[in-house]
Amino acid sequence: MFGYYLDLALRSLKRTPILTGLMVLAIGLGIGAAMTMLTVLHVMTDDPLPGRSAHLYTPHLDPLPLDYKQGGDGPDPTDDLTWPDAMALLKAQRATRQAAMAGGSLLLRPGRADLRPFYVDGRYATADFFALFGVPFLQGSGWSAADDAAGAQVVVLVDALARKLFGTGNAVGRMVRLGEHDYRVIGVTRDWQPAPMFYVDASAKRYSDGDMFFLPLATAVDRKLDVNGNFSSWGEDRAETRMVSPTTTWLQFWAQLDTPAQAAAYRQYLVDYSAQQKALGRFQRPPANAKLYGLMGWLAHENLVPGDVRLQLWLALGFLFVCMLNIVALLLAKFLRRSGEISVRRALGAKRRDIFVQLGIESALIGVAGGALGLAIAQLGLWSIRQRPDDYARLAQMDMPMLLGTLALAVLASVLAGLLPAWRACRVPPALQLKML
């Protein structure tokens, strides 16, 4: 039966090639625009660490004074932690693993004639950083908690930077001059870049190049190395002491909590810690302001998708909607015009359901053709997005699920569009139509 309906549908579509073409074009344009933007949204809100993300949490405290007023477009100071708070959470060891971190940009002097000095972005972090996020090592290893305490002058490089500096040979044990100091390389990691970079400060680019080096946080604080994130201060702000000030937030903090019970206990610990700080007179706001975000929850809170991209998505969906209305109207006219043919089939014994299925297949066929066209248009759209200067641009690629999703959406849209016309057409009263023939 299916083959017969397919044949009927093909014949019917061939009879009105221009109209069929228009419908395919309309659905192709609508689907192409919508899928381009859905793909961009998909890659921007993707899980950066599949498998690990469910156990990663970031704690947030509210150490602000009661009368602090948030400026209009400034960063939210409670997005980050102060040095004393981060160190307290770190020492409490309430999570399976935990690390404090901040981004930095340092001048690297290769000390070679063929390589000019250049700035590299990296991260100052505490020892657990690598195990916490599962950063894969190629050579050597990270540093220990003892190195953290001692402010060891060691560095971990990312493979790309190690190759640039030392070629393909062993980099461990070599020295690198970053800023005004020398550091000993103790490890080289695989090129590692989660997208989006969930652990960076709100001012950083989330989809651009990842960290190229990792330094112990204590070393960075001892030497007052440049930090390229927000410093939010609500008390005395002096350049000499801002890194360790109890009234300046600048550190990011992540913890691994394996079970929901552990997460609940940690949440309670944060409230207790805030209450204790309030009792000591350091915090003024309610301890219940302390929050614990899961990784995906934190990304949702940070609202990574720019307004323009969301606007473009709505525009594309609006366009798809108008295209659908268009197709519904055209299919309705097309099906109703065949009332005569339908009533003959009905008179010959076809059930309403048969007519419905036949017309449904005809709309699905338009959907398949429209989906193929939409796929081509979406590839074109994604290509144009990759030409944009934004940091997310290079991620705009369609993966297999999105590819299949495009076709499915196109077929679904056209079947949906065919539903009303097909229902209307299969309710044609056969006797009346036959009389008119």
Partner 1 sequence: MELRPILSTLRHHKLTASLLTLQVAFTCAIVCNVVFMIANRVHQISLPSGLAESELSMLKIAGIDPGENSQARHAADLAALRAIPGVQAAVAVDSLPLGRNDSSYGTCANQQAWNRAMAARSLNGVQGCLNPSVYSGSPGELEALGLHLVAGRDFQPDDYVPAKPGYVAANVPSAIVTRSLAAKLYPGRDALGQSLYMGGRPPMRIVGVVENLLRPRLREPGVNQYSVLLPSIPGEPSVTYVLRSAPQDRARVLGSAVAALTRLDPNRLIPPDGVRTYTQIRHAYFQRDTTMIGLLIASALGLLFVTALGIAGLANFWVQQRTRSIGIRRAIGATRGDILRYFQAENFLIVTVGIVLGVLLAIVLNLLLMTHYELPRLPLWYLPIGAAVLWALGQLAVLSPALRASHVPPVVATRSV
Residues that bind partner 1 (CB under 8 A): 19, 22, 25-26, 29-30, 33, 67, 69, 71-73, 107, 109, 116-119, 180, 239, 307-308, 311-312, 315-316, 318-319, 321-323, 325-326, 328-330, 332-334, 336-337, 388-390, 420, 424, 437
CB-based contacts of 173, cutoff 8 Å, min separation 6: 184, 185
CB of 306 to partner 1, least distance (A): 9
Which amino acid belongs to residue 215?
Answer: L
Return the percent helix, strand and coil in the chain, to nearest 5.
Answer: 50, 15, 30
Nearer to partner 1, 184 or 337 (CB): 337
CB of 23 to partner 1, least distance (A): 8
Nearer to partner 1, 264 or 329 (CB): 329
CB of 149 to partner 1, least distance (A): 28
The CA-based dihedral angle spanning residues 224, 226, 227, 230, taken in that order and rounded to the nearest 10 degrees: 100
Q: Are 368 and 407 in contact (CB under 8 A)?
A: yes
Q: Are 213 and 188 in contact (CB under 8 A)?
A: no
Nearer to partner 1, 67 or 167 (CB): 67
Nearer to partner 1, 54 or 165 (CB): 165
Nearer to partner 1, 21 or 134 (CB): 21
Nearer to partner 1, 66 or 400 (CB): 66
Chain position carrying tokens 């770190």: 90
Token readout for 324 is: 């659908």
CB of 341 to partner 1, least distance (A): 12
Distance, in Å, from the CA atom of 275 to the CA atom of 269, rounded to the nearest integer, reads 10
- Neighbouring-strand partners of residue 104: 122, 227
Token readout for 86 is: 């981060």
CB-based contacts of 313, cutoff 8 Å, min separation 6: 37, 38, 40, 41
CB of 311 to partner 1, least distance (A): 6
CB of 333 to partner 1, least distance (A): 4
Token readout for 102 is: 């901040």
Nearer to partner 1, 94 or 334 (CB): 334
**Residue from 302, 349, 328 nearest 425 by CA:** 328
Cα–chain-centroid distance for residue 66?
Answer: 34
Q: Are 178 and 170 in contact (CB under 8 A)?
A: no
Chain position carrying tokens 């691994």: 256
CB of 290 to partner 1, least distance (A): 24
Nearer to partner 1, 54 or 420 (CB): 420
- Helix (H), strand (E) at residue 81: strand 81-82
Q: Write the CA distances from 372 to 13, 29, 145, 378, 419, integer angstroms.
A: 17, 11, 56, 10, 21
CB of 116 to partner 1, least distance (A): 7
What ranges make up the beta strands (E) of 159-266? 175-178, 181-189, 213-216, 232-233, 248-256
Nearer to partner 1, 239 or 348 (CB): 239
CB of 206 to partner 1, least distance (A): 16
